[in-house]
Amino acid sequence: MNACDPASHAVAGVSGLKPYEPGKPISELEREYGVSDVLKLASNENPLGVSPAARAAMAGQLDDLWLYPDGGGFDLRRALAARHGVEPACITLGNGSNDVLVLLAETFLAPGRSAVFSQYAFAVYPIATHATGAEARIVPALSQDARQPLGHDLDAMAAAVDDDTRLVFVANPNNPTGTWVGADALRRFLADVPADVVVVVDEAYFEYAQAMGVPDASAWLGEFPNLVVSRTFSKAYGLAGIRVGYTVSSPAIADLLNRVRQPFNVNSLALAGAEAALGDTAFIDRAVRENAAGMAQLRKGLLALGASAAPSAGNFLLVDLGRDAATVNEALLRLGVIVRPVANYGLPGHLRITVGTAPQNDRLLAALTQVLETT
């Protein structure tokens, strides 16, 4: 072994991986750019913050942190099972839904197998797939002028499934495009895909998306035993920092995921916070309402700037600047505003902007106006 080149000994899928690029943390911008009062609209976090109920529940856990968490996540799984009308055996908890996506890849993928997903789909799918040595079969997205611009082409995705395919990822809605698929199209797709191929419907933005008519695929688990639905507490529930996500699936699939799951993958604060957040429906209702208003505000302001944004069922907009977005992004950073460049998705002329509170959206629009006039 060449001591200076561990990459030559890494498994092939890993040595070829490009790491996930997260939104820039506020502290990093402060450190690197010497700015303060930073506005971050880069990671689709909930601008309303943490639900008071979740905060209190987590505070109540502090004295017990010397104990290992409940590795089975009994209370949270029971609450989630009740929410979805399934048995607790159908719920698999993850350290964020990123964790359950990786568990799915570890369980069903290997060299010689493939996962199917769309061009412009969530960046975790290629990473989770490649890390297993499986092939990522990336299906060209719908065109820019489709009704769901750059969205998933479900017919083409179904056609890309072959004998080697074990996993299909459908993000509904998708990040970064904001696009979604309706109930009829998704059910047709599920009926088209062979019953031994696991279809993961990633509903990270479900609470926001519901209002746009995006279906709750977890209602179809009885009909499609190969269906897995993933959800997260990172977005509308306002708990991105504690890392909780989960899947709803058949007990048979959950049993497999549980074999590769780390025994204590969800910590005590997260278990308590997520369960309390689940019960805080007033907080979610407010988040959804304010997101709709904020998205309209952003959209109107962007239109006035000549920047277009496609429809979105999430809490973010994919904004087409019609010019190189990297320079615009850099100038926004200098003004203390963090948004998300998406060149890594193959979209160098776009920025993904999270919907903020009304004052945050005003500040973003003012900064963007200034930047577009001067750079």
Ligand X SMILES: *Cc1c(COP(=O)(O)O)cnc(C)c1O
- The residues that touch ligand X, with contacts defined as CB under 6 A, are 44, 96-98, 122, 171, 175, 202, 204, 232, 234-235, 240, 245
22, 35, 40, 218 from 26: Cα distances, Å: 12, 10, 7, 35
Nearer to ligand X among residue 43 and residue 226 (C-beta): 43
Could you tell me the two tokens for 79?
A: 């609450």
Alpha helices in the chain (DSSP H): 12-15, 26-33, 52-59, 74-84, 97-108, 124-131, 154-160, 183-192, 206-209, 251-260, 268-279, 281-304, 325-334, 358-374
CB of 199 to ligand X, least distance (A): 15
Amino acid of residue 330: E
Grouping H, G, I as helix, E, B as strand and the rest as coil, residue 47 is coil
Sign of torsion, CA 124 18 130 347?
positive
Closest approach of ligand X to the CB of residue 112, in Å: 26
Whichever of 319 and 371 has its CB closer to ligand X, that residue is 319
CA-only gyration radius of the chain, Å: 21
How many whole angstroms separate alpha carbon 192 and alpha carbon 194?
A: 6
Q: How far is the CB of 354 from ligand X (least distance, A)?
A: 11
Query: Which CB sits closer to ligand X, 38 or 274?
Result: 274
Q: In the complex with ligand X, which residue's Cβ is closer, 232 or 297?
A: 232
In the complex, what is the shortest distance from the CB of residue 121 to ligand X, in angstroms, rounded to a whole number? 8
Shortest CB 152 distance to ligand X, Å:
12
13 vs 178, which CB is nearer to ligand X? 178
CB of 141 to ligand X, least distance (A): 15
CB atoms within 10 A of CB 358: 13
Q: Which is nearer to ligand X, 311 or 336 (CB)?
A: 311
Beta carbons within 8 Å of 110's beta carbon, 6+ residues apart: 132, 133, 134
Q: Which residue is nearest to ligand X (CB)?
A: 96
